Amino acid sequence: MNTIDPTLAKPGPTLATQSRTSGAILALDLGTTTGWAMRGHDGQCALRGLITSGTVSFRPRRFDGGGMRYLRFVNWLTELDQLAGPIATIWFEEVRRHAGTDAAHVFGGLLATLTSWAELRGIPYGGVPVGTIKKHATGKGNASKAMMIEAAQARGYRPADDNEADAIAILHWALETKGGMA
């Protein structure tokens, strides 16, 4: 299995040895509007490389079947891997509680799609608890959406919304803590 569990820090392979040496790190805030941030690899330093971010909508269209959002997600991941990758590691926000049933279903579907896509390609992936991301970005584990946006802005980004701000925070958490190992 290629999952990375930052809470199980045991001797053995680290994030650096599990991931491909020449690849990008992708951070995702999964949802109907998915926030993403990606650090390209320049072959020198773990903190160097171009960081890009944005949001992508997987909202169903009028005549879409139930699985179309997930097929579009697979196509988006594949295109990202081909154009900006190869993707070496994927980190995502690990949500344990949702405000509504629909949000929980969408998250579960996107997570299942992401993990199967990564498993097929041998790409390690791991979830980061919401409180861990918020505390790393703002110093408060229960930070508001506005605080997360402000934290991204303080780093020099201009996130379109809280989804992009969360993805930026996940990426910086992964880089600065070496995936929870530092």
The reported pLDDT for the residue numbered 13 is 33
Q: How does pLDDT run across 113-125, given as a tens digit for each residue?
A: 999 999 999 999 9
Count of domains for the chain: 1
User: Does 16 fall in a domain?
Assistant: no
The reported pLDDT for the residue numbered 98 is 66
Nearby residues of 118 by Cβ (< 8 Å), 6 or more positions away:
2, 90, 124, 125
Of 63 and 85, more confident: 63
The CA-based diameter of the chain, rounded to the nearest angstrom, is: 51
User: Does 100 fall in a domain?
Assistant: yes
User: Does 3 fall in a domain?
Assistant: no
Per the prediction, the chain carries an average pLDDT of 82
User: Does 10 fall in a domain?
Assistant: no
User: Does 181 fall in a domain?
Assistant: no
User: Does 73 fall in a domain?
Assistant: yes
Identify the domain containing residue 89 by its residue range. Answer: 21-176
The reported pLDDT for the residue numbered 36 is 95
The domain that holds 155 is classified in CATH as 3.30.420.10
Q: Which pTM value belongs to this model?
A: 0.81
Q: How does pLDDT run across 30-52, given as a tens digit for each residue?
A: 999 999 999 987 644 444 568 88
Q: Inform me whether the pLDDT recorded for 182 exceeds 60.
A: yes
